[in-house]
Chain A
Amino acid sequence: MSAIEMPKANPAILSRKSEIVEALVSAIGSQAVISDPDETIAYECDALTAYRCPPLAVCLPESTAEVSRILKICSRMNVPVIPRGSGTSLAGGALPTADSVVIGVARMNRVLETDYDNRFIRVQSGITNLAVSALVGPDGFFYAPDPSSQLACAIAGNVAMNSGGAHCLKYGVTTNNLLGVKLVMMDGEVIELGGPALDAGGLDLVGVICGSEGQFGMVTEAVLKILPKPEGARPILLGFDANEVAGACVADIIRSGVLPVAMEFMDKPAIIACENFAHAGYPTDVEALLIVEVEGSEAEIAEQLETIKEIAARHNPAVMRESQSAVQSDLIWKGRKAAFGAMGQMADYMCMDGTIPTSQLPHVLKRMGEMSKEYGLGVANVFHAGDGNLHPLILFDANKPGDQEKCEAFGSDILKLCVEVGGCLTGEHGVGIEKRDLMVHQFTADDMEIQMRVKDVFDPQWLLNPAKVFPMEASHSRRHRNIGEAA
């Protein structure tokens, strides 16, 4: 696979730049519109930094009404729109094209309503994931989805990508914790869907908007479920001499009826990188490390850990170590969540995100090891073991000609393997541009057609994040329907 292609900018739009910018400025004021190329460059990429392109302009609205005005203008002038949360997408979900307007929700970060009796919070979508938990934390509540980037990532992006996290084995991902949205349609109309009630009426539109990668509309507000914090939580570290044994231990824990809130797996390269980076106290002489976390009162934690230790003991762990304090627990998680940053200090890397049936774990890890040799590129694995969501980090050297292409080819081989064994291309990062062209391995043309037809309903002009999710050929006719995009 060669580098991922993006559509060429439409010269008809580029030539109208001043007219478009003028319209945007008159709608939301010059302080909220960026059009100087020296400044738009700050929005040229998200966390998939291998791909960059500054947009035509950037809008930073402060209200739903402003978002509506911007979309009306873009709709009328046939300008593609790239919705942006905090720009932490690993899949290129917020990558602009030169003829697009980026709409960033960063300035819309207010909390609108907190209701503990009914256990929900209503927020503007630019608020960060961690800020939500931080806000309700003092009152004993939290927001469950916890992507590794939670310090920075916005709820808007979480909703767009249906983000997960380490604790979704028990609490689910964004879609399981999202009750309602305020959505600005491409034509500027504002609609409210769902709300504080657990069930929304009619078709589950909130369910299909969550994970639609910014292709259906701009979510400006979200109603999120908040949950009471457990009395306590404690991780235990389990080290094994072989990946397969760790995988078998995970299966046995699941079968036992104990439901840990998280089960994280790291292989040796990941353990060493994280330990060197975060000094989390991980054992560095084991092949595989599990972080298993349980929750509850002191007695409940003890009861669950007892069961887990009994199970682990049957697999002859090299290390079996409970966290001894809150500080140690924080450090253990800090190490895990720093995994990507840690790898980044050692090499350039691409982070994959396939999911596999957990029964396939040993087979897939073995195949990945073989492919690593074939490609001559290192790979480190950190993943959510309980739910089979893999995060192989493929290491490469961006300065070495051909290395990035090799890395992408290796990555797509891994994802194809995930699909082959019954899994999927992406578990929590989204398709974006990164896995767009691999969709054909998971879906038939009909399967993709029905998805694109749903986009047709929300965005008949195909202006919202148009060159994402579906292979370029598959979406070609739709993207060209209204605006003769340059071929």
Chain B
Amino acid sequence: MTKILKPNTEDEMAEAVAKAAGNGMRVRIAGGGTRPVGNPVEADCTIHTAGLSGITLYEPDALTIAARAGTPLSEIEAALAREGQHLSFEPAIWAGLMGTPGKSTIGGVVAAGVSGPRRVQAGGARDSLIGVRFVSGEGKLLKNGGRVMKNVTGYDLVKLLAGSHGTLGILTEVTFKVLPKPHATGTVSVSGLDDHDAVSVLSAALGSPFDVSGAAHLPKGDGGSPVTLIRVEGLAKSVDYRTGRLKELIAQKLGNGAEIAVEQDSDKATAPWRDVRDVSTFAGREGAVWRISVKPTDGPRIADVIRDAGEAEFIFDWGGGLVWALVPDHGDACAALIRNTVGAMGGHATLMRASKETRDRVEAFQPDLPRVGQISEMIRRQFDPMNILNPGLMARNLSGKAA
């Protein structure tokens, strides 16, 4: 039984980590427990962030919100919604996909660097995040960034902490730039396209002046046939105008017979994006799930390669640049094939969900090239000299105690 700690203040958190470091105890960091991404961690104790909860600052006029790391994401989204604002990077809820109970916390969102479909327009978690407070592996309470959206004072460790999966420090407070929630949403959908044609349509839409905020392709959409989705958001009249122009643009590109529909009812237009964001299609299904990041036109190419090797299903987001793949969970779950192909394309692939056996065998993250991996490892040791924070989670071979 590992020891469980639940500090209620930043100071208690710092003390808990300092103690662990002093005793050489390895620490598993737990937020809401909805995103078990990364290599399985062997630890001597678990530190929960749940005790550090609550919004600490919200200035709607300044488009800024700060909250303690253990604050449920839903609480933050509700507070923002009351003021007509939102987290523009559209954080996904992966509890369904990962089959995990619990409530996503804002610290977990940052640690995992989670971004949704609006990544193509508004950037990711790293782009909205403007300040962090965290406890390093030495038990020191540190800060970087702040509460203003333009800040180049010192190095940008905020970016480094976003997506570092707790390996550099335990986040205690995070601050974001937020944006007004769009008044209206419209979705243009095209039916029946293969992956390559779909991405080509998405590229045209994303390269148009119509400020596209979502660009996805579902090879098995409603009823099992392909659907390609393009979203625009903003003031109502503007959304009507831009969906109309996008429809024209796509019709021109695809020629006669193209099946293009426009949904201008905001609620209906928003609905499919929640599924894209949360990868709902793969929730509760058998198989291993990969998250692949490449340049958009390489999206369909990597899908072809995986499909040629066997059974697989895909969801394309970010105009084709984010590919979710569901593959049979046996052997290495296509790891060698996916990693080699994606690596040659200059992208990377993360094993998101798989059986314990597969996860024990396969590195969760795409291994870095040697010098880059060495730099990353050295940076982790600067923040966490004893290698006690989520050891091995990001790169097992270099830093973990597991084989």
Say if A and B assemble together.
yes
Tell me the A residues contacting B by CB distance below 8 Å. 115-120, 140-141, 161-162, 164, 168, 172-173, 175-176, 185, 189, 191-193, 195-208, 210-212, 228-231, 251, 254-259, 296-297, 299-300, 303-304, 307, 355-359, 384, 387-389, 422-431, 435, 439, 442-444, 446-448, 450-451, 453-458, 469
Q: List 22 A-B contacts (CB under 8 A).
A: A119-B206, A141-B207, A198-B322, A201-B293, A202-B376, A203-B164, A204-B126, A208-B156, A210-B159, A228-B206, A251-B61, A257-B84, A257-B182, A257-B235, A300-B238, A388-B149, A424-B148, A431-B154, A435-B153, A450-B157, A450-B382, A451-B155
Complex interface: chain A residues within 8 A of B151 (CB) = 355, 424, 426-427
Please indicate which of the listed interface residues B153, B200, B322, B382 has the most CB atoms of chain A within 10 Å of its own CB: B153
Interface size band for B: 35 or more
Contact A423 B148 (CB under 8 A): yes
How near does chain A come to B17, taking the closest CB pair, in angstroms?
14
A135 to B245 Cα, complex, angstroms: 26
A208 to B120 Cα, complex, angstroms: 21
How near does chain B come to A256, taking the closest CB pair, in angstroms?
8
A274 to B109 Cα, complex, angstroms: 45
Asked, given contacts A116-B207, A204-B159, A297-B241, whether A442 binds B150 with beta carbons under 8 Å apart, the answer is no
How near does chain A come to B216, taking the closest CB pair, in angstroms?
14
Contact B375 A458 (CB under 8 A): yes
A450 to B235 Cα, complex, angstroms: 44
Asked, given contacts A140-B209, A202-B368, A303-B237, whether A210 binds B62 with beta carbons under 8 Å apart, the answer is no
Binding stretch for chain A, among B19-27, B40-48, B137-145, B218-226? B137-145
How near does chain B come to A418, taking the closest CB pair, in angstroms?
9
Complex interface: chain B residues within 8 A of A304 (CB) = 235, 238
Contact A446 B142 (CB under 8 A): yes
Asked if B311 is at the interface (CB within 8 A of a chain A CB), the reply is no
Contact A205 B155 (CB under 8 A): no
- Nearest residue, chain A, Cβ from B136: A450
Contact A195 B376 (CB under 8 A): no
Contact A191 B372 (CB under 8 A): yes
Contact B368 A201 (CB under 8 A): yes
Complex interface: chain A residues within 8 A of B378 (CB) = 457
Complex interface: chain B residues within 8 A of A457 (CB) = 375, 378-379, 382
How near does chain B come to A474, taking the closest CB pair, in angstroms?
11
Asked, given contacts A259-B180, A450-B383, whether A208 binds B293 with beta carbons under 8 Å apart, the answer is no
Asked, given contacts A197-B321, A204-B159, A299-B237, whether A355 binds B61 with beta carbons under 8 Å apart, the answer is no
- Nearest residue, chain A, Cβ from B376: A203
How near does chain A come to B317, taking the closest CB pair, in angstroms?
10
A191 to B370 Cα, complex, angstroms: 10
Asked if B68 is at the interface (CB within 8 A of a chain A CB), the reply is no
Asked if B211 is at the interface (CB within 8 A of a chain A CB), the reply is yes
A189 to B374 Cα, complex, angstroms: 13
Contact B153 A388 (CB under 8 A): no
Complex interface: chain A residues within 8 A of B238 (CB) = 296-297, 299-300, 303-304
Contact A117 B296 (CB under 8 A): yes
Asked, given contacts A198-B318, A300-B238, A427-B152, whether A228 binds B209 with beta carbons under 8 Å apart, the answer is yes
- Nearest residue, chain A, Cβ from B345: A197
Complex interface: chain A residues within 8 A of B124 (CB) = 198-199
Asked, given contacts A203-B394, A357-B59, whether A197 binds B347 with beta carbons under 8 Å apart, the answer is yes
Asked, given contacts A176-B123, A198-B119, whether A211 binds B155 with beta carbons under 8 Å apart, the answer is yes
Q: Which of B148, B180, B234 contacts A355 (CB 8 A)?
A: B148
Tell me the B residues contacting A by CB distance below 8 Å. 59-64, 84, 113, 115, 119-120, 123-124, 126-127, 136, 140-144, 146-160, 162-164, 168, 179-183, 200, 203, 206-209, 211, 234-235, 237-238, 241-242, 245, 293-297, 318, 321-322, 346-348, 350, 365-366, 368-369, 371-373, 375-376, 378-380, 382-383, 394-395
Complex interface: chain A residues within 8 A of B149 (CB) = 355, 387-388
Complex interface: chain B residues within 8 A of A205 (CB) = 160, 372, 375-376
Contact B153 A431 (CB under 8 A): yes
How near does chain A come to B111, taking the closest CB pair, in angstroms?
12
Ranked nearest first, the 5 interchain pairs of A and B with the lowest CB-CB distance are A207-B159, A201-B348, A427-B150, A196-B295, A257-B180
A425 to B148 Cα, complex, angstroms: 11
Asked, given contacts A257-B183, A450-B383, A453-B382, whether A388 binds B237 with beta carbons under 8 Å apart, the answer is no
15 additional contacts (CB under 8 A) given A203-B379, A211-B156, A446-B142: A118-B295, A141-B207, A172-B127, A173-B152, A191-B371, A191-B372, A195-B347, A201-B350, A202-B394, A230-B211, A251-B62, A358-B62, A387-B150, A423-B148, A457-B379
Contact A357 B156 (CB under 8 A): no
Contact B156 A210 (CB under 8 A): yes
A173 to B126 Cα, complex, angstroms: 13
- Nearest residue, chain A, Cβ from B240: A299
A300 to B232 Cα, complex, angstroms: 13
Asked, given contacts A198-B293, A203-B379, A457-B379, whether A447 binds B143 with beta carbons under 8 Å apart, the answer is yes
Complex interface: chain A residues within 8 A of B148 (CB) = 355-357, 387-389, 422-424, 427
Complex interface: chain A residues within 8 A of B146 (CB) = 422-424, 442
- Nearest residue, chain A, Cβ from B343: A201
Contact A454 B157 (CB under 8 A): yes
Complex interface: chain B residues within 8 A of A299 (CB) = 237-238, 241
Contact A176 B63 (CB under 8 A): no
Complex interface: chain A residues within 8 A of B242 (CB) = 297, 300
Contact A229 B209 (CB under 8 A): yes
Please indicate which of the listed interface residues B151, B183, B294 has the most CB atoms of chain A within 10 Å of its own CB: B151
Contact A450 B203 (CB under 8 A): no
Contact A196 B346 (CB under 8 A): yes
Contact A117 B379 (CB under 8 A): no
Contact B365 A202 (CB under 8 A): yes
How near does chain A come to B212, taking the closest CB pair, in angstroms?
9
- Nearest residue, chain B, Cβ from A203: B376
- Nearest residue, chain A, Cβ from B59: A359
How near does chain B come to A311, taking the closest CB pair, in angstroms?
13
Q: Which of B162, B180, B207, B295 contacts A204 (CB 8 A)?
A: B162
How near does chain A come to B393, taking the closest CB pair, in angstroms?
12
A205 to B348 Cα, complex, angstroms: 15
A429 to B152 Cα, complex, angstroms: 7
Complex interface: chain B residues within 8 A of A446 (CB) = 140-142
Complex interface: chain A residues within 8 A of B382 (CB) = 450, 453-454, 456-457
A430 to B136 Cα, complex, angstroms: 25
Contact A207 B156 (CB under 8 A): yes
How near does chain B come to A115, taking the closest CB pair, in angstroms?
8
